[in-house]
Structure 1
Amino acid sequence: MDTDVLVVGAGPTGMTLANELLTAGVSTVLVDKLTRRSDLSKAGGVQSRTLEALDQRGLLEPLLATGDHPVATGHFAGIPLPLHANGRRLPWRSVPQVVIEGFFDRHLAERGLYARRGHELSGLAQDHEGVTASFTDGSALRARYLVAADGAHSTVRSLLRDAFPGQPGTLTIVAADVRLSGADQAGSHTWREDGHWAALFPLGTDAQGRPLRRLVLGGPGRSLSREIPVTEDEVRDGLATVFGTGVRLLELRYARRITNASRQAERYRHGRVFLAGDAAHVHLPLGAQGMNTGMQDAFNLGWKLGAAVHGWAPEHLLDTYHAERHPAGAAVLRNVRAQSLLMDWAGTRDPDVLAAREVFTALAQLPDVQRHLAGLMSGTAVRYPMPGAEAHPLVGHAAPDLDLGPTRVHELLRSGRGVLLDPADAFARIAGPWSDRVDRVNGVDRVNPVDPVNGVDRVGSGAGTGPMLIRPDGYVCWAGPDALVPALAHWFGKPR
């Protein structure tokens, strides 16, 4: 083998996965067909669950130190959601994709991993021991496993001949990174009676400290072929149509046309080959859910591949990647399609759509509805199907943000190992045979729940104060007091 895992695609998903594999102690090769890193930002924000996962690896503070990345108000179909709606300690942040890719590029280089650029995949073959990848320059690599993180037009997916069912694109809208004047006086989503609309989102600042924004334009007559370049005149006309003379274009960084296509691969696993990110699912870029969902694919898959490479993974473990992430991706596609309908992307001003939006806007003022929608958008509502989920409200959810006296739960996950919280020091003998894979934490000063998840009041129910087993990706896979041994064996393999 040339490497344990070959990751194809050096975008946010691929680089997140490469970092997870290095954390798991797995040799990794990262390739990309582009000769240099793109300076385009297809996404502009990081949701709460992704921020938490980055914090679990000690990457959040260094990432936020790269520039001005303000907290931003979330939305569902352009309807604002309060910052506190999902009850998490880390609200949505404006961090452009280009910043994330640059950050991971440097971080991986510090760990000795450099993306091999200009490597375009041309062939793929696998057997019971590994995968052989061929490239257009005549070179080849042999790996135990291969992960496709090579985008919506995935070469790996094409070579696998995997079905990519869903809805084809029926219209296009314009997305652009811009500097504007007068934008502070404009709302995040603005509609005109004639169906023209615009959306504005913060993208931090440029090197001179000037604010950048993501601008999205749509409406009657604006759905053009993706092959037609977006011009400055088209962007200026769109701004004038929606805002009049109040908002003007100062600089157009880049622009492209995006479609409302919605597709998802039928299978995320093909033997020793896995699909992640846009290679597995595509949809309209609402709330940066595509990038965040792809990064969450990587957090879910990385430790499982590490377990397989190191030889302690239970036979079913790699199959749980599809079982957990395919439903999560399908849920994102559903909420995006619902949002696109309520936002009237085509600018039809259909009375039925307007009536539905009016009713939905009223519902979105209710705290329970806000919490539900914020959970969908932020990824915090994801609950993986797991044994024991029917018996305990935390099993399958991301671990609660617990204060353990001298430390916090997310800090315990920096090593990329499992964590057993054992406040009463009751499971030392039982957990001992898994101590090479799971860190047991006992004798803490206190175990205080500090935030709610999906309406679970940990302070009132005591759900966050007992023993619990947390996977390396930060999800609770057991909560006491009984049946710890089956949970350890199910997720962490046979005891020593």
Structure 2
Amino acid sequence: MDTEVLVVGAGPTGMTLANELRVADVPVVLSDKLSQRSTLSKAGAVQSRTQEVLDQRGLLEPLLALEDFATGGAHFAGVDLPLAHGRHRHPWRSITQVVLEGFLERHLAAHGIHVRRDHELTGLTQDADGVTATFANGQVVRSRYLVGADGGHSTVRSLLGAEFPGRPGTATTVAADVRVRGGDDLVLKHVQSEDGQWARMFPLGTDAQGRPLRRLSLGGRGRSLPRETPVTEDEIREGLRAVYGSRVELLELHYAHRITNAARQAARYRHGRVFLAGDAAHVHLPIGAQGMNTGIQDAVNLGWKLGAAAHGWAPAHLLDTYHAERHPVAAMVLRNVQAQSLLMDTQGSGDPDLAALKDLFVSLLRLPEVQYAIDDMMSGTGIRYPMPGAGEQSLVGLPAPDQDLGPVRAHELLRSGRGVLIDPADRFAKVAALWQDRVDRAGQGTGAQPMLVRPDGYVCWAGDPDELEPALGHWFGEPR
């Protein structure tokens, strides 16, 4: 083998996965067909749960030190959720994909992992022992496992012949990085004109001269043009006038393209020794930056499991839990994006029935329970994985609470990439010793709640002492 894992695609998903494998002390090769990293903003925000997993690896603090990123609260279909503001340890932050990619690439390089650029995948075969990948530049890489994190038009997925069912794009909207005058009070607001056109602006930080930039989305009646149609400055100006009148003026267009409302998801995330992650596994209209955040969570879920397999202690079922846990999450994202698109009337139909539906939905959103449920869904903090022992009254399957364990917080213990058994009453030293090569024990003498936490930060046991040893075996294999 040339490496244990080959990751194809060096976007946020691929680089997060490479870092997870690095933390697990697993050799990894990260390739990308581009000759240099994209400078386009692309996704525009990092959600609360994603920030939590970055914090687990010690990456959040240095990322936030880069600049003063704007923060905001949750919304659904452009409707603000004010009661959800401040609910999470880390608020929604306007961190663009290009900033996150640059940060992750520098971090990986500092640890000796450099992206192999100009590597366009052209061939892929697998056998009982590993995967052979062939690139257009003549390079051949042999790995034990391969992960396709190469985007919505994934070559890995195509070479696998993997099913990618769903709906093709039926309409397009404009996404543009712009510098404008005015409209400060309109940022993060969904504004719709009487004739069915709409716009939304997000903060994008500043340009090289320190001037504020915004991501502008334009759509609605008359805005759906073929995807390959160039977006012009005149089109942007006309769209701003149609929705904002004279309140917003275009000063400079940095970049613009058209995106579709296609909604597709791979039928299977695992194909033998090959896995799909991020946009290679699921695509949808970008609302709430859920595509990038879902892809990063895919990587965090898969990384420690591949690490366990590479080190030889993974239970036989462990790699299959990647699909079982992550496929339902992306399916829910596709459903909520489609619901939001309908409520926002992104195609500008002007249908009065849609207006009535949105009025009803807005009235329901006044209920605290509804706001909290939708906020948990959009932020990723409400994800519950199907696990033995999971249930409404249990923490099992949920992200671990960040308990105070004396000198450290719970999330800091996950920086090693190992599992953590929180044992405040010092009851489980004997059983924990059997897995001490892959699970740390902490929290003695604190008032914390006993629980077993996987390397990705999810609780996999809490409560019944008799169930601890079976849980350790289920998630961390046979003891040595």
Please give the TM-score of this superposition, normalised by the length of structure 1.
0.95
Counterpart mapping for 1:267-278 below 5 A: 267-278=268-279
Identity of aligned residues (%): 68
Whole-Å separation in 1 of the counterparts to 2:195 and 2:13: 39
Whole-Å separation in 2 of the counterparts to 1:292 and 1:209: 27
Greater shift in the superposed pair: 76-85 or 99-108: 76-85
Aligned to 1:350: 351
Q: Contact 2:405 / 2:443 at 8 angstroms: preserved in 1?
A: no
Of 443, 460, 463 in structure 2, the residue corresponding to residue 477 of structure 1 is: 460
Paired residue type of 1:253? H
Post-superposition Cα deviations, 1:139-160, rounded to whole Å, max 9, x if no partner, equal 2100000000000000000000
**Is residue 66 of structure 1 aligned with residue 74 of structure 2?**
no
Aligned to 1:77: 77
**Is residue 386 of structure 1 aligned with residue 387 of structure 2?**
yes
Post-superposition Cα deviations, 1:187-218, rounded to whole Å, max 9, x if no partner, equal 51101111011011112222332221110001
Q: Contact 1:173 / 1:223 at 8 angstroms: preserved in 2?
A: yes
SS class of match (1:103):
helix
Q: Contact 1:150 / 1:278 at 8 angstroms: preserved in 2?
A: yes
Segments of 5+ residues of structure 1 without an aligned counterpart are 448-464
Aligned to 1:36: 36
Q: Contact 1:179 / 1:250 at 8 angstroms: preserved in 2?
A: yes
Paired residue type of 2:361? F
**Is residue 494 of structure 1 aligned with residue 467 of structure 2?**
no
Q: Contact 2:423 / 2:443 at 8 angstroms: preserved in 1?
A: yes
Whole-Å separation in 2 of the counterparts to 1:20 and 1:387: 25
Paired residue type of 2:439? V
SS class of match (1:37):
coil
Q: Contact 2:119 / 2:137 at 8 angstroms: preserved in 1?
A: yes
Deviation, structure 1 residue 43: 0.4
Post-superposition Cα deviations, 1:16-48, rounded to whole Å, max 9, x if no partner, equal 000000000000000000000001122000000
Post-superposition Cα deviations, 1:405-447, rounded to whole Å, max 9, x if no partner, equal 2211111101000000000000000111100000001424432
SS class of match (1:16):
helix
Greater shift in the superposed pair: 477-486 or 304-313: 477-486
Q: Contact 1:85 / 1:374 at 8 angstroms: preserved in 2?
A: no
Whole-Å separation in 2 of the counterparts to 1:52 and 1:291: 15
Alignment CA distance shift 1:84-1:405 (3 Å): farther
Whole-Å separation in 2 of the counterparts to 1:260 and 1:86: 31
Paired residue type of 1:175? A
Whole-Å separation in 2 of the counterparts to 1:156 and 1:253: 31
Aligned to 1:202: 203
What is the aligned-residue RMSD (CA, Å)?
A: 1.1
Counterpart mapping for 1:32-431 below 5 A: 32-82=32-82, 84-85=84-85, 87-186=87-186, 188-390=189-391, 392-431=393-432
Whole-Å separation in 1 of the counterparts to 2:271 and 2:40: 31
Whole-Å separation in 2 of the counterparts to 1:440 and 1:286: 40
Whole-Å separation in 2 of the counterparts to 1:442 and 1:20: 24
Whole-Å separation in 2 of the counterparts to 1:444 and 1:21: 33
Q: Contact 1:94 / 1:203 at 8 angstroms: preserved in 2?
A: yes
Count residues with an aligned counterpart: 478
Q: Contact 1:86 / 1:371 at 8 angstroms: preserved in 2?
A: no
Whole-Å separation in 2 of the counterparts to 1:271 and 1:445: 44
Of 451, 461, 477 in structure 2, the residue corresponding to residue 468 of structure 1 is: 451
Whole-Å separation in 2 of the counterparts to 1:175 and 1:47: 20
Paired residue type of 2:452? L
Deviation, structure 1 residue 295: 0.2
Whole-Å separation in 1 of the counterparts to 2:266 and 2:416: 32
Q: Contact 1:268 / 1:276 at 8 angstroms: preserved in 2?
A: yes
